[in-house]
A and B are shown apart, each in its own frame.
Chain A
Amino acid sequence: MKAALRPGDAAFANVEKVNAELFTLTYGAVVRQLLTDHEDVDDVNKQLDSMGYNIGIRLIDEFLAKSNSAKCADFRETADVIAKVGFKMFLGVSPTVANWSPDGKECSLLMDDNPLVDFVELPDTCQGLSYCSILCGVLRGALEMISMRTEVRIVKDMLKGDDVYEIRMRLIETVPEELPYKDDE
């Protein structure tokens, strides 16, 4: 545990910081705009997820470059690094990894504090909205670029009355590097 905590703090110190309130308010404005554009809450959830996916596929390069982390041997290590270094670096929070499934392919990230949802309350008309789906998309995109196909979803949401934020990650498969097949003579 200790070995990963230090790089998390070091990486956090190395990154340019942006005002947390600006970040939260910008995200809130994006979600509100999406709600106005799409009438259906499920559509908005899907949009947030695909926005997150596009962010994730680029974020992984920045993460790898700034955190100098080596390749992870398995999904457990990956989840640990995501929680301790990744989240710390980009959101300033450190979720705990818990609820591992017996085969080691599923786990949960538990967060008490989520900067995206400061000042947010879900109105009655939008109870189906998954406010943090962007985070799921980011995780999915980033992991896909390091050849792990995953399914990420929000299980517990404090905006809907739960006591903690829980994101569940499931490893579907590890895809080996694809070779562009060249025809040899």
Chain B
Amino acid sequence: MFGLLFSLKSFTAKLDPINGDNAGQAGKGCSFHSFKTNTYKLSYFETAAGVKFVLVTDPRMGDLREALRNIYSNIYVEYVSKNPIYTPGQPFRCELFESTLDAYVKSL
């Protein structure tokens, strides 16, 4: 899945008519945020620190970028980043994180 997202990201950055020359640099160039098929919609958010958030939902959902930002700042930062047992870069399982995330996503 990483390959798919990474290729989509570089593809959209290179196609950008305004910033196409700066595709490789951070801070300039665009990044894709969602794609839709007839059965699902995939929304994507990447932080400057490299953490990527992917949300797969019903295609009728509206723009989920704000929701993803909220998940990042209120749920991920609070329950994962601040968790002393967690080392960045490793896969993690954290029940509090999962339950808060569940509750939040159900409310969308």
Residues in chain A within 8 A of chain B (CB atoms): 57-62, 64-66, 69-73, 145-147, 177, 179-180, 182
In the assembled complex, the Cα of A144 lies from the Cα of B24 at a distance in Å of 19
Q: A73 touching B25 by the CB < 8 A rule?
A: yes
Q: Does B36 make an interface contact (CB < 8 A)? A: no
Residues of chain A contacted by B28 (CB below 8 angstroms): 73
In the assembled complex, the Cα of A65 lies from the Cα of B72 at a distance in Å of 7
In the assembled complex, the Cα of A61 lies from the Cα of B25 at a distance in Å of 21
Q: B73 touching A71 by the CB < 8 A rule?
A: no
In the assembled complex, the Cα of A177 lies from the Cα of B82 at a distance in Å of 23
Residues of chain A contacted by B44 (CB below 8 angstroms): none
- Nearest A residue to B71 via CB reads A65
Q: A179 touching B6 by the CB < 8 A rule?
A: yes
Give the shortest distance, in Å, between B105 (CB) and chain A (any CB): 18
In the assembled complex, the Cα of A179 lies from the Cα of B50 at a distance in Å of 11
- Taking CB atoms and an 8 Å cut-off, the chain B residues in 1-29 that contact chain A are 2-3, 6, 25-28
Residues of chain A contacted by B86 (CB below 8 angstroms): 58
In the assembled complex, the Cα of A27 lies from the Cα of B82 at a distance in Å of 18
Q: B81 touching A177 by the CB < 8 A rule?
A: no
Q: Chain B, 47-76, contact with A by CB distance < 8 Å: what is the 0/1 string?
A: 111110000000000000000010011101
Query: Known: A70-B27, A180-B2. Contact between A64 and B48, CB under 8 A?
Result: yes
Q: B49 touching A62 by the CB < 8 A rule?
A: no
> Can you list 5 A-B pairs with a CB-CB distance of less than 8 A?
A58-B81, A58-B82, A58-B88, A65-B74, A71-B48
Number of interface residues of B (CB under 8 A): 22
Residues in chain B within 8 A of chain A (CB atoms): 2-3, 6, 25-28, 47-51, 69, 72-74, 76-77, 81-82, 86, 88
Q: A61 touching B47 by the CB < 8 A rule?
A: yes
Residues of chain A contacted by B74 (CB below 8 angstroms): 65
Q: B81 touching A61 by the CB < 8 A rule?
A: yes
Query: Known: A66-B73, A179-B6. Contact between A61 and B49, CB under 8 A?
Result: yes
Extra inter-chain contacts (18) besides given A61-B49, A62-B81, A145-B49, CB under 8 Å:
A58-B82, A58-B86, A62-B77, A62-B82, A64-B49, A65-B77, A66-B73, A70-B27, A71-B26, A71-B48, A72-B26, A145-B88, A146-B48, A146-B50, A147-B26, A147-B50, A179-B6, A182-B3
Residues of chain A contacted by B69 (CB below 8 angstroms): 65
Give the shortest distance, in Å, between B68 (CB) and chain A (any CB): 11
Q: B76 touching A61 by the CB < 8 A rule?
A: yes
Closest 10 interchain pairs by CB?
Answer: A65-B73, A71-B27, A61-B81, A73-B27, A145-B49, A58-B81, A65-B77, A62-B77, A71-B26, A57-B88
Residues of chain A contacted by B50 (CB below 8 angstroms): 145-147, 177
Residues of chain A contacted by B49 (CB below 8 angstroms): 60-61, 64, 145-146
